[in-house]
Amino acid sequence: MVLVGPSGSGKTTFARIHFRPTEVVSSDACRAMVADDENALDANREAFGLLRYITTARLSRRRVAVVDATNLLAQTRRALVSLARSSSTPVVAIVFDAPLGLLEERAAGRQDRRIPLDVVGRHHAQLEHALKDLPGEDFDEVHVLRSPDEVDAFSVERATPLPAAASEDAASAAGSWIRAWEEGWPRKDVEAVASRYAESAVYRALAFREPRLGTHGAREYLRENFDVEDDVRCWFGDPIVQDDRAAVEWWAHWTENGRPVTLAGATVLRFTPADLVAEERDYWNQTGDLVDPYPGW
């Protein structure tokens, strides 16, 4: 569920009344987690990365995720809809269209933070644009609440819990992933490989570094590495599959800035119901020679 509305429009109170604390993914709470201050706007990049990560994790486990942020920009809402679609989850927008005068009154009375009136006015104007755009966006339902009375009267009905997510055929999904890498890596075909990653993918190529997020993050990582890898040869083993997960052993060597490199490793994958990569974790060893797989590999 995506809550849409200016600061002070009642989103947080609504979420607190209708949902469990664990179901609400709040931008304020994420700012507090990364900066010890929910008003630290300079932490927005990290806070919203955390918000997307938590939302993705909850959806992957078929749990309710209520995103409590202003969500006034179309690109922000599109990204959240994409997360839901990647996990085959319905997505609903609840819009809090409070009158400008009420927003200004609430902003003036807030004790937890100061919200300048020009910000209140900008948010209200952005909401007017959002109301025009929302009917054409890919939400399953859009509910617009135009007064405190409508907010108070609105009820949330929980549907039957969604079944556990599983790829239609994880073996087939793993096979598609293997073919994309087998063919795309030697050719440096970034798009062929990146196309196997969902918009909500979490791609952890190195265990102790931050993951790359989404198709864009995968594409970025691939481009950085393919640009410096020449004469690539690679081998992949048969996937070991359970439910929506697979493990694949692989071996590759190339020259990098004139130096030989060989990596031997394994990748743990989880797939969306659309057979795209939802999560990838790579583990590998490296040597500074060109070494083919040993007999029986």
Tens of pLDDT, residues 108-119? 888 777 788 889
What is the CATH class of 2-153?
Answer: alpha beta
Copy the structure tokens of residue 218. 């995968």
Q: Where are the alpha helices (DSSP H) in 154-226?
A: 170-187, 190-194, 214-226
Which pLDDT tens digit goes with each residue over 163-217? 444 444 789 999 999 999 999 999 999 999 999 998 888 999 998 888 999 899 9
Domain boundary assignment for the chain: 2-153, 170-287
CB 72 within 8 A of CB 130: yes
Q: What is the pTM of this model?
A: 0.58
Cα–Cα dist 12/181, whole Å: 44
CA neighbours closer than 13 Å in the CB half-sphere of residue 241:
15
Q: Which pLDDT belongs to residue 159?
A: 67
- CA separation for the pair 234, 257 (Å, rounded): 18
Overall CATH class of domain 170-287: alpha beta
